[in-house]
Amino acid sequence: MSTQSATERSVYITTTIPYVNARPHLGHALEFVQADVLARHCRRRGDHVRFQTGTDDNSLKNVIAANAAGLGVREFVDANAAAFVALAGPLSLSVDDVICTSSDPRHRVGVERLWHACAAAGDLYRAHYQGRYCVGCEQFYADAELIGGQCPEHDAEPQLVSEENWFFRLSRYAGQLHDEITSGRLRIEPPGRRKEVLAFIEGGLADFSISRSTQRAHGWGIPVPGDPSQVIYVWWDALGNYVTALGYGTGADDLTRWWTAASRRVHLLGKGVLRFHAVYWPAMLLSAGLALPTDILVHDHLTVDGAKISKSAGNGIDPAALAAEYGTDALRWWLLRDVPRTGDADFTRERLVARANDELANGIGNLVHRVVAMIHRYRDGRVPDLHSRAGEDSSRTRAADSAGLDASCRDAQGRVASALADGDFRLATGPVWQIADEANRYLSRIRPWDLARAESAGDREAGHLLDRVLTTALGACEVLAGELEPFLPDAAARIGAQCASNGDGYLVRPVPLFSRLPEPE
Ligand SMILES: [Zn+2]
């Protein structure tokens, strides 16, 4: 019996909520799949998990994109939001909750409560502001941050904005934020990103503007409570989603269970939005008297065919189309297995296909297929029962020693857990792949087909050994199915079905688990 209450083992996992000014691209899929792996991994070890995603609707860039498309903002935002929500199917995401910030009734009341809480703490004030604003980034830039007068992300000249805005007293929280991060209470992984945040805080934190004139926002967004001339800055609004979805504004019990009393509050995000999540958001929470996230896991960016993903480059590959073309397993495997923890990764169809063919079709698929096929060929599909065998102690038995494979199976769970705790998804796939690799080597070394031939020639001991080898290999496939589940849930289910004997101890006929993908032209 567990001595911990359910609340103590609750884990809340979020992705960032993408702008819906365009359709989803592969970079979104990376973050969704990483978060899904973590959610499935935690559920598998018995945690209560809430995995949440959503869409950032209240952005000026959504308004501009809708105008350019000749559509109403509502219609445009809803259509793109639906495309993001629909990714759960083709990517096999185990999402528990989705919040769309312009239409979800939980959101606006929660953002308003957050505003009031920070105002009550004395952290909001009105001031005149002039600065250069990039709509693409939805943020102000200091002149020193611009490159040749242009936004470093968008190669476009930010707009000069001069207006009266509401400000948040970020400067007040520098010391506290620094403590939270250096103490490890707020973990930022990988370490290079933690250093980056600490250096930013040490450089001095300036208060930041948290509202826009309603006119400049084209009337789209959440009005500032008590000041209809202003709408709330889209980042303030968007960051709030992590608690508004838990009922911060509606009074649901979820906030206690999944935020205040949760054992982990984990945000996954890309390096481009680190400052918002590791500085602005925790400061807002401190001001409002709420708990901070426990883990911020940061991924780098993907490029496609060597180029940064962007609408203008026209390389924003639709992940749903990619999953339809190559399969969900192949797409997830590339995102998890090829993308390093640090450094940008380049996607090409060739790489996806090579990885899937080498490791899924040839490696894992071939292993499971030949083990199940041998049990059918040599044992009529019945899983050998080792208990009926007498003890064996010959040199041949020792040669069939499976210590390396046994160790891979035994250690996988711990090694996966430790890699995932650091947000290193590629490292976490290693122990899983190692089971398949070791099992294939084991079969090549032991050569069960030779044992079967010797058994047919009357060598009873070879038959006993064959039983042991088949049982060991089948056991490894079952462990593989379990460990693979967070990464490739669909493939894991197929492997599990192949390895599970029905009541009378027989396996189903082997079927190919992965089809070999054709080389891209
Ligand atoms: Zn920009």
Whether 499 sits among the annotated catalytic residues: the reply is no
Residue 249 contacts residue 113 (beta carbons within 8 Å): yes
Instruction: Kindly give the distance from the C-alpha atom of residue 128 to the centroid of ligand 1, in angstroms, as a whole number.
Output: 22
* Polymer length of the chain: 521
Structure tokens at 288: 């409002």
Residues whose CB is less than 8 angstroms from the CB of residue 459 and which lie 6 or more positions away in sequence, other chains included: none
Residues whose CB is less than 8 angstroms from the CB of residue 155 and which lie 6 or more positions away in sequence, other chains included: none
Instruction: Kindly give the distance from the C-alpha atom of residue 182 to the centroid of ligand 1, in angstroms, as a whole number.
Output: 30
For ligand 1, a single-atom ion, the residues with CB < 5 A are 134, 136-137, 151, 153-154
| pLDDT computed for residue 3 by the predictor | 44
Whether 195 sits among the annotated catalytic residues: the reply is no
Instruction: Kindly give the distance from the C-alpha atom of residue 65 to the centroid of ligand 1, in angstroms, as a whole number.
Output: 15
Structure tokens at 43: 């559920």
Whether 271 sits among the annotated catalytic residues: the reply is no
Instruction: Kindly give the distance from the C-alpha atom of residue 61 to the centroid of ligand 1, in angstroms, as a whole number.
Output: 11
Indicate which residue of 42, 100, 118, 134 is catalytic. 134
Give the number of other CB atoms < 10 A from CB of residue 339.
21
Residue 430 pLDDT exceeds 70? yes
With cut-offs at 50, 70 and 90, classify the pLDDT of residue 389. low
Residue 410 contacts residue 440 (beta carbons within 8 Å): no
Q: Angle at which helices 366-379 and 489-499 pack, to 10 degrees?
A: 10
Residue type, 309: I
Whether 107 sits among the annotated catalytic residues: the reply is no
Of 110, 31, 488, the C-alpha closest to 296 is 31
Q: What is the mean pLDDT of residues 274-303?
A: 97
Of 61, 51, 71, the C-alpha closest to 22 is 61
Residues whose CB is less than 8 angstroms from the CB of residue 519 and which lie 6 or more positions away in sequence, other chains included: 350, 353
Instruction: Kindly give the distance from the C-alpha atom of residue 131 to the centroid of ligand 1, in angstroms, as a whole number.
Output: 14
Whether 311 sits among the annotated catalytic residues: the reply is yes
Residue 246 contacts residue 261 (beta carbons within 8 Å): no
Of 414, 403, 415, the C-alpha closest to 441 is 403
Residue 446 contacts residue 376 (beta carbons within 8 Å): no
Residue type, 112: E
Residue 57 contacts residue 238 (beta carbons within 8 Å): no
Residue 293 pLDDT exceeds 90? yes
| pLDDT computed for residue 4 by the predictor | 47
Of 281, 293, 330, 1, the C-alpha closest to 114 is 281
The whole-angstrom separation of Cα 512 and Cα 370 is 10
Residue 101 has, within 13 A of its CA and on its CB side, a CA count of: 32
The whole-angstrom separation of Cα 344 and Cα 28 is 14
Residues 316-342: tens digit of each pLDDT: 789 999 999 999 999 999 999 999 999
Burial 274-284 (b: 16+ CB within 10 A, else e): bbbbbbbbbbb
Residues 431-444: tens digit of each pLDDT: 999 999 999 999 99
Q: What is the mean pLDDT of residues 111-131?
A: 96
Indicate which residue of 178, 301, 308, 376 is catalytic. 308
Instruction: Kindly give the distance from the C-alpha atom of residue 154 to the centroid of ligand 1, in angstroms, as a whole number.
Output: 4
Instruction: Kindly give the distance from the C-alpha atom of residue 135 to the centroid of ligand 1, in angstroms, as a whole number.
Output: 6
| pLDDT computed for residue 154 by the predictor | 83
Residues 365-375: tens digit of each pLDDT: 999 999 999 99
Instruction: Kindly give the distance from the C-alpha atom of residue 41 to the centroid of ligand 1, in angstroms, as a whole number.
Output: 36
Q: Which helix (H) or strand (E) holds 405?
A: helix 403-421
Which of the two residues, 92 and 390, has the higher pLDDT score? 92
With cut-offs at 50, 70 and 90, classify the pLDDT of residue 7. very low
Q: Which helix (H) or strand (E) holds 108?
A: helix 105-120
Indicate which residue of 116, 154, 301, 376 is catalytic. 154
Looking at the chain, the whole-number percentage of residues with pLDDT higher than 90 is 84
Residue 402 contacts residue 474 (beta carbons within 8 Å): no
- The per-residue pLDDT of the chain, averaged, comes to 93
Structure tokens at 49: 């998990």
Residues 266-288: tens digit of each pLDDT: 999 999 999 999 999 999 999 99
Q: Which helix (H) or strand (E) holds 100?
A: strand 97-100
Indicate which residue of 137, 409, 477, 499 is catalytic. 137
Structure tokens at 132: 């250069």
What's the farthest any 2 CA atoms get from each other in the chain?
94
The whole-angstrom separation of Cα 460 and Cα 263 is 56
Instruction: Kindly give the distance from the C-alpha atom of residue 136 to the centroid of ligand 1, in angstroms, as a whole number.
Output: 4
Residue type, 230: Q
Instruction: Kindly give the distance from the C-alpha atom of residue 155 to the centroid of ligand 1, in angstroms, as a whole number.
Output: 7
The whole-angstrom separation of Cα 192 and Cα 386 is 52
Instruction: Kindly give the distance from the C-alpha atom of residue 174 to the centroid of ligand 1, in angstroms, as a whole number.
Output: 25
Whether 25 sits among the annotated catalytic residues: the reply is yes
Instruction: Kindly give the distance from the C-alpha atom of residue 139 to the centroid of ligand 1, in angstroms, as a whole number.
Output: 8
Indicate which residue of 100, 151, 477, 499 is catalytic. 151
Residues 132-183: tens digit of each pLDDT: 999 888 888 888 889 999 998 888 899 999 989 999 999 999 999 999 999 9
Instruction: Kindly give the distance from the C-alpha atom of residue 78 to the centroid of ligand 1, in angstroms, as a whole number.
Output: 24
Residues 192-243: tens digit of each pLDDT: 999 999 999 999 999 999 999 999 888 999 999 999 999 999 999 999 999 9
Residue 521 pLDDT exceeds 90? no
Residue 308's beta-bridge partner residues? Answer: 303
